[in-house]
Structure 1
Amino acid sequence: MSLDLGAVGRQVGPAVVEWSSTDAILYALGVGAGQLDPAAERELTTENSNGVTQQILPTFAIVLSQRAGLAVDIGQVDRAKVVHGEQKLTLHQPLSVEGSASLTARVSGIFDKGSGALIRTTIDAVDPASGAPLFTSEGASFLRGAGGFGGPKEAPADWPEPHREPDVSVAVPTRTDQALLYRLSGDRNPLHSDPVLATRAGFDRPILHGLCTFGITARAALQALQVDPGALASISGRFTKPVLPGETFTVSLWKDGDRTIYRTADGDGDAVLDRGVLTTR
């Protein structure tokens, strides 16, 4: 295994991706919209309901980042040792229900964590016609066993950990087939669908996509805060524990000035998505 430390700043793209209103609906269903009450959240799950204008859940932008297929060369690494650690999405303007975007990806940093390497990537999306910024997706992946190379150390990010009861706390159930539904939006990693592969990876059965948990959390938080999806400006969080489909999440929210701090926990009370921050316009 050889991580290319010279990959920082390396860029690929642009690649143009398109999406339809059907894609937006399928994603919303994949993160649980309408699950408890099919008559609710129709703005996310239907395009022709009487008196309801379709909207898009803005975390769908991350699906577009995956669809672009922009894999920056970081050397010969064992993908089985790569763990998705963090995700941040910044919306520069509300995402349209259907449209197209031109995306470019780059490696924005590689940091020495001792037991592994933290690789940060950034994907910028712009309107293909005007060049206007649409969104920025920032991910961090941990490559186990690749640390100790004497590289830069990343300073811990500031996160105002709450020390009081949440302002809002909401229980969010997931379906046992949640991963099977979510994968139709594009992430076909068999770890989330193949029991044989899941067992080899050390799980009792296929686990839920981390980005599905991310989308479920965003949807639940916006609903609990009574915020219009188009008003989301940014959302970030750190993945801390694998999740099995069928779990009931608890999304806890703390209002902190012009932002909301959040944490998503599983049925055992363990954080599965932590150090969360959400901002709105």
Structure 2
Amino acid sequence: MTHSLFQKMGAPPIDVAQVTSAPPVRTEVTWDDRDVRLYHLALGAGVPETDERELAYVYERHARGLAVLPTFGTVAGGTGGIGFQVFDLPGVHLDLAQALHGGQEITVHRPLPAAARATAVTHVPAVYDKGRAAVLVQESTLLDEDERPLLTQRNHIFVQGAGGFGGDRGPSDPTPVPDRAPDHLFDLPTMRQQALLYRLTGDWNPLHADPTTARTAGYDRPILHGLCTFGMAVKAVTDRLLRSDPTRVTGCRTRFAGVFFPGETLRLHLWHHPDGHGYLLRATAPDRDDAVVLSHAAITVR
């Protein structure tokens, strides 16, 4: 998902002290198996339609129960991403028009159920100073009805023109991929209408549907949501390396390094993590000379 932000008149874009000290925002979140099935279909699940492993993602009466990918948590409740309440927080004076969803991290505390009433608790633990830009880190923990954490996600929002305030630059880059051929290479086809389908999970940004908006942003046609490509990558690793068991995924992260167009092939380059508990990942678009789409990505497993 790509967003843009224009600074509101008469106020600095981010008051770091105010936004990082603001009390958490609590948002009620509900979902059912229809939401889960729609999300998986938007990732391309259900092909072939007779494969039992694929049916586990899309058929509510599956013998093993409905599988739920942890990345479903990013759209739980139909909000287009839990935790994107940052624009309503004290100290943030932005409106949607020019900012970038630069990265995503997810920590799984327990597997997501196929239906639930939950609460998203959101705050901003840090704003990093990158010079001309700032990276606002928004953390949201999804709690079940007993206030037990299900998952925690961190959205990294890149805001051009909001840096230079003398703050911390943030942590160094995570483990880089090895300088050798990948251990696994997967090619994933995508549908030309995939962005239109993924929008039904709650992200209505016209950049993913309206050709005029896309051209204004510099693209010849609408682009696919970054969270969709990331969800596809996590699903592929789950299916091909974890025996289609999403409960084995304990966490995942990525940077959204480049655009991806619906209908292209998504190529996953995977290396075994040095600690033996997961995979390092890079995703590219082979239709465009392997342009990088996802970088600094990792999936941790049990």
Q: Same fold per TM (> 0.5)?
A: yes
Taking every aligned residue pair, what percent have the same amino acid on both sides? 36
Residues in 1 aligned to 2:269 and 2:83: alpha-carbon distance in whole angstroms: 33
Q: Displacement of 1:56 after TM fit?
A: 1.1
Residues in 1 aligned to 2:253 and 2:165: alpha-carbon distance in whole angstroms: 28
Question: Do the aligned partners of 2:100 and 2:157 also contact (CA within 8 Å) in 1?
Answer: yes
Using structure 2 for the length normalisation, give the TM-score: 0.87
Structure 1 residues 169 and 240, CA gap change in structure 2 (3 angstroms): same
Question: Do the aligned partners of 1:47 and 1:54 also contact (CA within 8 Å) in 2?
Answer: yes
Q: Match of 2:169?
A: 153
Q: Match of 2:298?
A: 277
1:5 aligned residue (11, 16, 22): 16
Q: Structure 1 runs of 4+ off > 6 angstroms? A: none
Moved more, 207-216 or 6-15: 6-15
Residues in 2 aligned to 1:201 and 1:34: alpha-carbon distance in whole angstroms: 33
2:285 aligned residue (249, 266, 279): 266
**1:48-67 to 2 correspondence within 5 Å?**
48-49=61-62, 51-64=63-76, 66=81
The one-letter code sitting in structure 2 at the alignment partner of 1:193 is: A
Q: Does 1:26 align with 2:38?
A: yes
Residues in 2 aligned to 1:177 and 1:85: alpha-carbon distance in whole angstroms: 24
SS at match of 1:17: strand
Question: Do the aligned partners of 2:83 and 2:140 also contact (CA within 8 Å) in 1?
Answer: no
Question: Do the aligned partners of 1:116 and 1:144 also contact (CA within 8 Å) in 2?
Answer: yes
SS at match of 1:59: helix
Q: What stretches of structure 1 of length at least 5 have no aligned partner? A: none
Q: Displacement of 1:74 after TM fit?
A: 4.0
Q: Displacement of 1:158 after TM fit?
A: 2.8
Structure 1 residues 30 and 74, CA gap change in structure 2 (3 angstroms): farther
Q: Displacement of 1:99 after TM fit?
A: 1.1
Q: Does 1:135 align with 2:148?
A: no
Residues in 2 aligned to 1:259 and 1:185: alpha-carbon distance in whole angstroms: 28
* CA distances 1:41-92 after superposition (whole Å, capped 9, x unpaired): 100011124x453211220001127257633344222532210111011110
Q: Does 1:252 align with 2:265?
A: no
Root-mean-square deviation over aligned CA pairs: 1.6
SS at match of 2:21: coil
**1:62-77 to 2 correspondence within 5 Å?**
62-64=74-76, 66=81, 70-71=85-86, 72-77=89-94
SS at match of 2:97: helix
Structure 1 residues 192 and 14, CA gap change in structure 2 (3 angstroms): same
SS at match of 1:11: coil
**1:79-90 to 2 correspondence within 5 Å?**
79-90=96-107
Question: Do the aligned partners of 1:90 and 1:233 also contact (CA within 8 Å) in 2?
Answer: yes
**1:210-229 to 2 correspondence within 5 Å?**
210-227=226-243, 228-229=245-246
Structure 1 residues 243 and 151, CA gap change in structure 2 (3 angstroms): same
* CA distances 1:77-131 after superposition (whole Å, capped 9, x unpaired): 2532210111011110011111121111101111111121111110011112x22
Question: Do the aligned partners of 2:177 and 2:271 also contact (CA within 8 Å) in 1?
Answer: no
Q: What stretches of structure 2 of length at least 5 have no aligned partner? A: 1-6
Question: Do the aligned partners of 1:253 and 1:262 also contact (CA within 8 Å) in 2?
Answer: yes
Moved more, 10-19 or 136-145: 10-19
The one-letter code sitting in structure 2 at the alignment partner of 1:42 is: L
Q: Match of 1:44?
A: 57
The one-letter code sitting in structure 2 at the alignment partner of 1:226 is: L
The one-letter code sitting in structure 1 at the alignment partner of 2:228 is: C
Q: Displacement of 1:201 after TM fit?
A: 1.1
Question: Do the aligned partners of 1:221 and 1:251 also contact (CA within 8 Å) in 2?
Answer: no
Residues in 2 aligned to 1:239 and 1:159: alpha-carbon distance in whole angstroms: 16
Structure 1 residues 78 and 99, CA gap change in structure 2 (3 angstroms): closer
SS at match of 1:103: strand
